[in-house]
Structure 1
Amino acid sequence: MATIAEFDRVGLRYGTGAEVLRDLDFRLARGGFYFLTGPSGAGKTSLLKLLYLAQRPTRGRIRLFDEELSEADRDALPAFRRRIGVVFQDFRLIRHLSAFDNVALPLRIAGGSEQEVEGPVREMLAWVGLADRASARPATLSGGEQQRVAIARAVIGRPELLVADEPTGNVDAAMATRILHLLTAMNRLGTTVVVATHDLGIIAATPGAQLIRLENGNLVDPTGALRNPPVAAR
């Protein structure tokens, strides 16, 4: 069974405080689409940070891309991160860069030449409906436009895993639907997608997606489906 991520009794605490995540034990199927839900303070953002390697677990083991991360050297982590796209709740666009340059940033960091960057970035901006806003800086973009720039930046490198933290939290219903279409399109291309959300509407609009529910730092999975996930049909 092909999996992209495996958590084995993972716990996380910040400093000397109480654990914010406890005994997480689940697998994500390669090519799957997952919604991460739960009340505020349940630990959703902390779980996402573990997935995109912004945090390492306090205890337990995480296996990602068939590699045991507890045994990975810190110098090896950037190579793993390049295989992951992240859409942050607060966008985290670089204010002094245009939409084009924000989207181009991952390709430039990876060493792409301007000739290699130009075409893919223009194509990606057109894909998210922002071809005519390429030169605009974040301050002149609406919240929905900034979110689409953030999504374009996250997927420009064709990540194997895409993690999105409340991607529809700051937009209206029509824009939320458009953003969901972008995420499901990436999933159809083979990317595993994990979306943290409170939006029951986008969950209902995505048949076939699985739920990961957290409550007080604990995984709620009464069916065991996350422990033995089905391989996504392609």
Structure 2
Amino acid sequence: MNNIVQFENVGLRYGTGAETLSDVSFTLARGAFYVLTGPSGAGKTSLLKLLYLAQRPSRGLIRLFGDDVVTLPRDRLPVLRRRIGVVFQDFRLVPHLSAYDNVALPLRVMGHEERDIEAPVSEMLAWVGLSDRASARPATLSGGEQQRVAIARAVIGRPDVLVADEPTGNVDPDMAERLLLLFEGLNKLGTTIVVATHDIHLLSRIPNANLMRLDRGRLSDPTGALRYPPLGEGGAL
């Protein structure tokens, strides 16, 4: 199955207001890298919530890994969520856990033995430059450090899909470059990456990135340079 995500005429409405997302249709190919752009208020975070199953659409079809998540029983959603890594804009670290334990959490949830956890977690903390902060709790970390812990936690389990909401927004340019290399490395291992960002300059630093532009709740192609493939067909957006 080349396409692991499929949206067809998806709409999302909060309460009785106007739709936040309207008639959104696209597919995500296995192992591809996507950059979701658009102005503030365009609906990027709402679209990501649908991708990582924090929200169900008001209408339309969403398939993840071949399952129709709109009609899927709620007790089956956690199994799908474990295949999706998420970097939240507000980090969502567990406050009473150390940086090490926050990063280790997905592996523990997946049932890994403690003896198999130490090496990959230590390696990941070293990669994001936080080896010396492994025992620190989130409240004692800077915003950039919390962001790096959140990214390490999201990628530690090598998810099938990684969804990242403004992942480089709280780090310096050098660390942003390093984090992008981490995403690229994960992508080369087969993970589908979706990065939402205001920084379109990121595109120049990501080889073979596919652009998805959201404007007022709709996917658009203002340049004419990109074409979205019909549902059910392979290829990048």
Q: Secondary structure at the match of 2:5?
A: strand
Report how far residue 56 of structure 1 moved: 0.6
1:230 equivalent to 2:230? Answer no
1:189 partnered with 2:189: yes
Which residue does 2:4 correspond to in 1? 4
1:142-161 Cα shifts (integer Å, max 9, x gaps): 33222211111001111000
Residue 96 of structure 1 deviates from its aligned partner by 2.0
User: After superposition, where does 1:1-234 map in structure 2 within 5 Å?
Assistant: 2-221=2-221, 222=224, 223-227=226-230, 228-230=233-235
TM-score (norm 1): 0.93
Q: Percent identity?
A: 67
The DSSP-based 3-state class of the residue aligned with 1:70 is coil
Cα 1:115/1:24, change in 2 over 3 Å: same
Unmatched runs of 5 consecutive residues or more in structure 2: none
Q: What amino acid sits opposite 2:228 in the alignment? A: A
Q: Distance in 2 between matches of 1:231 and 1:34?
A: 8
Contact 2:11 2:59 in 1 (8 A): yes
TM-score, reference length from structure 2: 0.92
In structure 1, how many angstroms separate the alpha carbons of the residues matched to 2:234 and 2:38? 20
* Number of matched pairs: 232
Stretch deviating more after TM superposition (210-219 or 130-139): 130-139
Is the 8 Å Cα contact of residues 228 and 236 (structure 2) preserved in structure 1?
no
**8 Å CA contact 2:35, 2:197 repeated in 1:** yes
Higher deviation after alignment, 34-43 or 67-76 = 67-76
On the 8 A contact 1:45/1:165 being kept in 2, the answer is yes
CA RMSD of aligned residues (A): 1.8
Unaligned 5+ runs, structure 1: none
- Larger displacement relative to structure 2 (128-137 or 33-42): 128-137
Offset of residue 129 of structure 1: 2.7
